[in-house]
Amino acid sequence: MRGEPTQLQDFVFGLTLPQPGGYMTDALDVPPVTTAGLDGFYILGTDDTSLARPGTEFAARLGVEPRMAPGGHMALLNHPEDIAAALLELL
């Protein structure tokens, strides 16, 4: 949450839980979302520096191209309007 007040960053960090590292390195053992008969999307923050690998790789694991939106990893919290706009553009 670069650019946000330290107090807000600390608050959000205190609410998060560690994510198992295997998600970043292991094979994805679920069928691609596109096989469920639903459109799959991956919204990637243009300033996301929190991922262990490029976000484009995670989108590719799902068989989709990422849709870029302003913000970082927590853009849903500090750029909700931009994320909502990105979602609406995908419909």
Q: Which residues contact 22 (CB under 8 A, 6 or more apart)?
A: none
Over residues 55-87, the pLDDT tens digits come to 998 888 878 899 999 999 889 888 999 999 999
Query: Which residues form the domain of 60?
Result: 39-91
Residue 26: inside a domain, yes or no? no
Residue 74: inside a domain, yes or no? yes
Residue 1: inside a domain, yes or no? no
Mean pLDDT of the chain: 84
What span, in angstroms and rounded, lies between the C-alpha atoms of 86 and 6? 27
Residue 87: inside a domain, yes or no? yes
Cα atoms in the 13 Å half-sphere on the side-chain side of 39 = 6
- Please state the pTM of the whole predicted model: 0.72
Residue 54: inside a domain, yes or no? yes
- The number of domains in the chain is 1
